[in-house]
Amino acid sequence: NNFSNLRTFNIDASSLPNVKRNKFYVVIDPGHGGIDAGAIGIRGLRETDVVLDVSKTVQRLLSKKGVNVRLTRKGEIDLDLSPRVTIANRTGADIFVSIHANASRGKKKDINGLETFYYSGWRGKLLAEKIQQEIIRVSPGSPDRGVRSGRYFVIRKTNMPAVLVEIGFVTGKLDARRLEKPLHRKRVAYAIAKGILKYLQRVG
Ligand code: ZN
């Protein structure tokens, strides 16, 4: 239940790794939005709602650590892929993190798991590894689908280390049951923030 989760897991920013304040600028990109709800899962769970909620918590946590954060969207607006990239490229972001949830073909309930994509370069790969390590930790029993190179537009066209995180399958029985819960979303956000901060500690 929620009480035991809260006892064993601290979602407070004070327990996150520290980085030099006001040094880093991160763009967080909640996938989809507006008319494009993204994947639709079990019990009508919508990717756009899950990833916006998680992204806002990532922003809040990183801000408390003195990291400047910009979201590519703050609400349910329809936003193409190229403006997401432009925001990051024009404003000189240090890193770009796009947050998504998965759907399996045929909406198979037994397919669950988390994965993180980068496009190229050791920095992107390292950022993906740091985030993947942490999101797996808060998703016990859900398969680790690993860190992979992918050709998604938003990570291919951005000119800073960039990753696309898939935080679980809205169509998967195990993942959907978690992703619909506000507490789990907070834990995933905490994990993503922790991965980002660990990366910045190492590379920044
Ligand atoms: Zn998506």
The pLDDT tens digits of the residues spanning 43-83 come to: 999 999 999 999 999 999 999 999 999 999 999 999 999 99
Mean pLDDT of 114-131: 97
91 C-alpha to ligand 1 centroid (Å): 24
- Please tell me the distance between residue 34's alpha carbon and the centre of ligand 1 in angstroms: 13
For residue 118, the CA-to-ligand 1 centroid distance in Å is 15
Residue 113 in 3-state DSSP? coil
E strands, the chain, in order: 25-30, 68-71, 95-102, 114-118, 144-149, 162-169
Confidence of residue 9 (pLDDT cuts 50, 70, 90): low
Q: Is the dihedral of CA 52, 58, 61, 65 positive or negative?
A: negative
Please list the residues that pair with 26 across neighbouring strands. 69, 95
In the predicted model, what is the mean pLDDT of the chain?
95
Does residue 1 surpass a pLDDT of 50? Answer: no
- Distance between Cα 25 and ligand 1 center (Å): 23
- Residue 163 phi/psi, 5-degree rounding, is -135, 160
User: Which stretch of 9-18, 96-105, 136-145 has the lowest confidence by average pLDDT?
Assistant: 9-18
Q: Which residues are in the CB-under-5-Å shell of ion ligand 1?
A: 31, 38, 100
**pTM for the full model?**
0.95
Ligand 1 centroid–CA 94 distance in Å is 22
pLDDT at 24: 98
Among 72, 100, 109, smallest CA distance to 167 is for: 100
CA separation for the pair 138, 179 (Å, rounded): 12
